[in-house]
């Protein structure tokens, strides 16, 4: 429960720009340390400042597509939206919201084990790998996969991945800005 509350507070802080994680630009002439607004159509990852090659299977929505689709960009240039809007934003970006299996593959291909949160958090090779792939450590990422359980209403929850520790969890689909998204190319 503590982990969920801590992540929720951190995610809210990111949305309102209270915490600047990674990237950002510094303007030495003015001393302005604020983050610049970047159009994601150039396939640049602000966290790593490395272009994402066009043949990669992941898409980052542009700020205009994110905003027009009901999402918001956080200070890192990551689109945050509820689950329904995330699916629409991905379609407008020319892709689809990935399945949980697609997101799990990034975690495992980078050398981590799903839900082995302590080991994954301490694994510097894993931490560097998912960032090279263009994913951020926080917040979590939506999948298109709904939560299958006999205990919950499957219409309310979708599965998510936290890349910082490889944790797979679920989230209420209507939570507006708790989860980010990357789209899988068609």
Kind plus residue range of the DSSP H or E element containing 120: helix 117-122
Which range scores top for mean pLDDT: 2-16, 49-63, 119-133? 119-133
User: What Rg, from alpha-carbon coordinates, does the chain have?
Assistant: 16
C-alpha dist (Å) from residue 40 to 9, 134, 139, 175, 186: 26, 12, 18, 23, 18
Separation between Cα atoms, residue 101 and residue 140, nearest integer Å: 15
Q: Please give the DSSP secondary-structure letter assigned to residue 27.
A: B
**79 close to 72: Cβ distance less than 8 angstroms:** yes
- Confidence class for position 5, pLDDT limits 50, 70, 90: very low
Threshold 0.85, pTM exceeds: no
**Amino acid 31: pLDDT:** 37
Separation between Cα atoms, residue 21 and residue 171, nearest integer Å: 23
Tell which residue, 27, 32, 62, has the closest CA to residue 44.
Answer: 62
Separation between Cα atoms, residue 147 and residue 160, nearest integer Å: 9
**96 close to 183: Cβ distance less than 8 angstroms:** yes
Mean pLDDT, rounded, for 102-122? 97
How many independent structural domains does the chain possess?
1
**Amino acid 48: pLDDT:** 36
């Amino acid at each position: 429960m503590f982990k969920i509350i801590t992540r929720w507070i951190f995610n809210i802080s990111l949305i309102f720009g209270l915490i600047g994680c990674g990237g950002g630009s510094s303007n030495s002439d003015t001393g302005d340390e604020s983050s610049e607004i970047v159009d994601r159509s150039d396939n640049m990852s602000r966290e790593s400042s490395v272009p994402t090659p066009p043949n990669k299977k992941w898409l980052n929505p542009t700020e205009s597509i994110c905003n027009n689709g009901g999402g918001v960009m956080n200070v890192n240039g990551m689109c945050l939206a509820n689950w329904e809007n995330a699916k629409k934003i991905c379609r407008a970006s020319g892709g689809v919201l990935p399945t949980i299996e697609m997101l799990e593959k990034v975690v495992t291909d980078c050398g981590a084990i799903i839900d082995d949160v302590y080991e994954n958090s301490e694994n510097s090779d894993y931490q560097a790998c998912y960032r090279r792939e263009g994913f951020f450590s926080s917040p979590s990422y939506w999948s298109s996969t709904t939560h299958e359980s006999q205990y919950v209403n499957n219409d309310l929850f979708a599965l998510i991945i936290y890349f910082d520790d490889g944790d797979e969890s679920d989230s209420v689909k209507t939570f507006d800005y708790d989860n980010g998204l990357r789209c899988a190319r068609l």
